[in-house]
A = this chain, B = another copy of it.
Amino acid sequence: MHESERHRVILAAVQARPVATVQELVELTDTSEATIRRDIAALHVQGRLRRVRGGAEALTPPTQGNLVGRPFSVNETINIGLKRAIAKVAVDLCADGDSIIINGGTTTYQMVFHLVNRRCQVFTNSFPIASHLLGHSKNSVIVPGGTIYREQNIILSPFESDVTKHFYARRMFMGAQGIGPHGLTEADPLLIQAEQKLLNQADELVVLADSSKFRQRSSLILCKLERIHMVITDRNIRDEDRQMLEERGVAIRIAGPSDNAEEEVSPSVA
């Protein structure tokens, strides 16, 4: 990856997140620490970002923070590395030109960083995802119509959207509130409704769920396990959960935080 391209990636990363670590940027750009440090130093003297120990941050403090680009409230800082690794595996499934659906969520949001150099057709109901891809990538971006809910930063509509009906993708990526023998579970009925509409518009369903999601189950079932083609999770998944998925024919991929990035553990759906 070339210099100007790296700078784009780095700036995109810091603008979307309070701080981007050197390690994250190394994985994102597939270069060495030294190069990233040099890039950060250069961008720092250019006044395009602020250099901090461990990485870099955007110039604009969170005070001015315009919602977009600084999405999702507070929590979700601990598992961020995990989520990003999972998201990377998800994006690695995509090639330029693919049509994909990205359902809004904190885990799927991490996909945007890995998508900056792609040129996919992305349909998303997440306003932050759309915004970031618009500003920091060449991907084509399509959104459904509806009211934007600040709480989740998601576009929801009680009506059938013709845009949605006309968009068909090979893969749909989504997070989940919980996952269990009965299927994917979600907390909010409104979300269920919106997500089920999207489910009909894609062939393969890829679920991004860290291992903790296997212990959280909400009351509302979004879809059965059989509908899922692949689950991307982390190495802490319990054997019983893994077995449960395999019995239903769900492929599993393990995202490693850093060491070995990816590992196949069940027949691929290729």
**A interface residues (Cβ-Cβ under 8 A, vs B):** 2-5, 7-8, 11-12, 16-19, 21, 52-55, 57, 61-63, 65-69, 117, 119, 127, 130-132, 134-138, 140-148, 150, 153, 155, 157, 159-166
Known: A63-B7, A134-B150, A145-B146. A53 touches B163 (CB 8 A): no
Chain B residues with CB under 8 Å of A166's CB are 159
What are 20 A-B contacts defined by CB distance under 8 Å? A3-B54, A4-B54, A4-B61, A18-B117, A62-B137, A63-B136, A66-B131, A66-B132, A66-B136, A67-B135, A127-B131, A127-B134, A141-B147, A142-B145, A143-B143, A143-B148, A145-B162, A159-B162, A159-B165, A161-B161
Partner among B66, B138, B155 whose Cβ is within 8 Å of the Cβ of A16: B138
Min CB distance A14 to B, Å, is 11
Q: Is the interface of A mostly helix, strand, loop or mixed?
A: mixed
Q: How far does the Cβ of A42 sit from chain B's closest Cβ, in whole Å?
A: 12
Shortest beta-carbon distance from A69 to chain B in Å: 6
Total copies of the chain = 2
- Output the nearest chain B residue to A144 by Cβ-Cβ distance: B145
Most B C-beta atoms less than 10 A away, residue of A4, A16, A65, A150: A4
In addition to A8-B61, A16-B119, A66-B132, 20 A-B residue pairs with Cβ atoms within 8 Å of each other are A2-B21, A2-B52, A3-B54, A4-B53, A4-B54, A65-B136, A68-B135, A127-B130, A127-B134, A131-B131, A141-B147, A142-B145, A143-B143, A143-B145, A144-B145, A144-B163, A145-B164, A157-B163, A161-B161, A162-B162
Pick the contact of A62 from B135, B143, B145 — CB < 8 Å? B135
Report B-chain residues with C-beta under 8 Å of the C-beta of A19. 2, 4-5
What is the bound-complex CA distance between A147 and B164, given in angstroms? 11
Complex-state Cα separation, A140 to B146, whole angstroms: 11
Residues on B with C-beta less than 8 A from A157 are: 162-163
In the complex, what residue of chain B is closest to A69 when comparing beta carbons? B66
User: A159 contacts which chain B residues (CB < 8 A)?
Assistant: 162-163, 165-166
Q: When chains A and B are docked, how far (Å) is the Cα of A143 from the Cα of B144?
A: 8
Chain B residue at smallest Cβ distance from A148:
B141
| In contact, B163 and A8 (Cβ under 8 angstroms) | no
Chain B contacts of A135 at CB under 8 A? 62, 65-68
Task: Decide if A12 touches B140 in the complex (CB within 8 Å).
Answer: no
Q: Find out whether the CB atom of B68 lies under 8 angstroms from the CB atom of A131.
A: yes
With A127-B134, A135-B65, A163-B157 in contact, do A143 and B146 touch (Cβ < 8 Å)? yes
